[in-house]
């Protein structure tokens, strides 16, 4: 009987989409019988319970007075190499290139070139579109993309950006983000919803890590415009540096009473279905996972048209796409949705159907499994590269 490969997964353990995808991937692989070893600085958000075939290895950070900053990259590489050797891992799959691909590269070198350990890097977004382009990281990011045994990106947009910005020529495979559509599903819960909005009020959602790229000013301005024309409440999910300025702005608009900020919500599937629409007006999104999660819950989305969102949202059919500066356009789409029940239901159904048909865990998990098989078979045969 052939042995099922053992996979090491490294990701950021916080609320970001890259950590969520990495965790859901690991959980899915474990259900398929793979031994999955998470090697992270702390347990990923969605990995807080016992799961068969899942193992967790904490990266110990050593502080020392000489270090201005503890070298996480090195501790991670050491833990990766030890885990590979002890548990006979076949693949290290790192999510978000910086610095995880660097640690993976070091770990692969540490366990010896003759070992069959493979390094797979999944690019998620700002590792390419923002931080990876900083002069301090640019040559390293390009180097690590070239040195990985396989590289995937979560959208065709991100592949184009990677080629354009880094001049990368090697195969890059698009494997889109995915959602557990049994967990993220429509749910009517008037009692729970009444905690955030009255029946006659529209409940507008925004969920993110509240960083500048999320364009929080547009969330505040658009909500103010919606609320001026239709009774509405805003529910903010997540935390980050731009949350406090947004709340201040909403207070200045006189809308403080209409806003609830829930902070970090461990299970978004409990809250997303309560909303009437989700606003995601980011300056760009390589994918925009939370938009897909909302769609799976049957919640219409108004998302940025910059980036990879058009790869799963068709404007006017299963959601809306607007330029992040087009506040009038976002407001008009929102008012259409909240004022027209038939339209909202129709968009919600289309959104749910597309999420299930194309972006359910099962469809996408299989693509990662095929990639692992190809990489381990050492057939240089590249997958469906973009
Ligand atoms: O790249 C980031 O800013 C962080 C990252 C994350 O961990 O949330 O977000 C990116 O990866 C997500 C998962 O693939 C995508 O859904 C997000 O669109 C992407 N963020 C951006 O492109 C701004």
Q: Are 235 and 272 in contact (CB under 8 A)?
A: no
Q: Residue 382 domain-assigned?
A: no
* 35, 128: one domain: yes
Q: In this structure, are strands 202-207 and 232-237 parallel, antiparallel, or unpaired?
A: parallel
* 128, 80: one domain: yes
Nearest atom of ligand 1 to the alpha carbon of 122: 14
Q: What is the mean pLDDT of residues 176-195?
A: 97
* 28, 145: one domain: yes
* 201, 155: one domain: no
Q: Residue 78 domain-assigned?
A: yes
CATH number of the domain to which 29 belongs? 3.40.50.2000
What pTM did the predictor assign? Answer: 0.96
Q: Residue 200 domain-assigned?
A: yes
Q: Are 123 and 97 in contact (CB under 8 A)?
A: yes
* 284, 267: one domain: yes
First-to-last C-alpha distance (Å) of the chain: 35
* 222, 334: one domain: yes
> What is the residue with the minimal CA distance to atom 12 of ligand 1?
17
Q: Residue 72 domain-assigned?
A: yes
* 227, 306: one domain: yes
Hunting for tokens 């110990």 — which residue is that?
60
- pLDDT of residue 45 exceeding 90, the answer is no
Distance 374 CA to ligand 1 centre (A): 26
Q: What is the mean pLDDT of residues 192-209?
A: 97
* 346, 365: one domain: no
- pLDDT of residue 382 exceeding 70, the answer is no
Tens-digit pLDDT profile for residues 66-125: 998 899 999 999 999 999 999 999 999 999 999 999 999 999 999 986 568 999 999 999
Tens-digit pLDDT profile for residues 21-36: 999 999 999 999 999 9
* 287, 354: one domain: yes
Q: Residue 184 domain-assigned?
A: no
Print the domain residue range for 289. Answer: 190-359
Residue 209 pairs with which residues in a beta bridge?
A: none
User: Would you report the helix, strand and coil content of the chain in percent, each value rounded to 5?
Assistant: 45, 20, 40
Tally of domains within the chain: 2
* 304, 367: one domain: no
Q: What is the mean pLDDT of residues 6-34?
A: 95
> What is the average pLDDT value for the chain, to the nearest integer?
95
pLDDT band of residue 132 (cuts 50, 70, 90) is: confident
Distance 78 CA to ligand 1 centre (A): 26
CA–CA dist 33, 332 (Å, integer): 48
Q: Residue 185 domain-assigned?
A: no
What is the model's pLDDT at position 47?
Answer: 84
What is the model's pLDDT at position 383?
Answer: 55
Pocket test for ligand 1, best of 25, 126, 211 (most atoms within 8 A of CB): 126
Q: Are 39 and 59 in contact (CB under 8 A)?
A: yes
Q: 170, 20, 176, 26: which is closest to 91 by C-alpha?
A: 26
């Amino acid at each position: 009987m052939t042995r099922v490969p053992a996979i090491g997964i490294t990701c950021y353990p916080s609320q970001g989409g890259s950590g969520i995808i990495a965790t859901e991937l690991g959980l899915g692989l474990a259900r398929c019988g793979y031994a999955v070893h998470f090697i992270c600085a702390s347990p990923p958000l969605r990995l807080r319970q016992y799961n068969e075939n899942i193992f967790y290895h904490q990266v110990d950070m050593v502080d020392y007075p000489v270090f201005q900053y503890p070298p996480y990259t090195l501790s991670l590489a050491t833990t990766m190499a030890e885990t590979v050797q002890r548990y006979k891992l076949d693949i290290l799959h790192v999510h978000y290139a910086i610095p995880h691909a660097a640690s993976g590269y070091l770990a692969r070198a540490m366990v010896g070139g003759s070992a069959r350990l493979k390094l797979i890097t999944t690019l998620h977004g700002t590792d390419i579109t923002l931080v990876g382009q900083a002069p301090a990281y640019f040559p390293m990011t390009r180097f690590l993309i070239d040195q990985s045994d396989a590289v995937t990106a979560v959208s065709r947009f991100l592949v184009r950006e990677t080629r354009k910005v880094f001049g990368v020529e090697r195969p890059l495979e698009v494997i889109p983000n995915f959602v557990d559509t049994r967990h993220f599903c429509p749910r009517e819960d008037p009692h729970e919803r009444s905690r955030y909005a009255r029946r006659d009020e529209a409940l507008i959602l925004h969920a993110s890590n509240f960083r500048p790229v999320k364009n929080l000013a547009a969330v505040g301005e658009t909500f103010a415009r919606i609320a001026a024309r239709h009774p509405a409440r805003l529910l903010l999910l997540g935390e980050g540096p731009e949350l406090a300025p947004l709340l201040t702005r909403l207070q200045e608009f006189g809308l403080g009473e209409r806003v609830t900020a829930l902070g970090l919500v461990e299970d978004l599937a409990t809250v997303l279905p309560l909303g009437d629409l989700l606003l995601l007006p980011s300056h760009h999104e390589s994918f925009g996972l939370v938009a897909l999660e909302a769609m799976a819950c049957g919640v219409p989305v108004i998302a940025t048209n910059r980036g990879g969102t058009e790869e799963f949202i068709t404007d006017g059919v299963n959601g809306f796409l607007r330029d992040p500066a087009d506040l009038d356009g976002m407001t008009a789409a929102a008012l259409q949705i909240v004022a027209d029940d038939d339209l909202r239901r129709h968009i919600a159904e289309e959104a749910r159907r597309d999420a299930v048909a194309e972006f359910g865990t099962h469809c996408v998990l299989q693509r990662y499994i095929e990639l692992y098989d190809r990489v381990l078979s050492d057939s240089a045969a590249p997958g469906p590269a973009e």
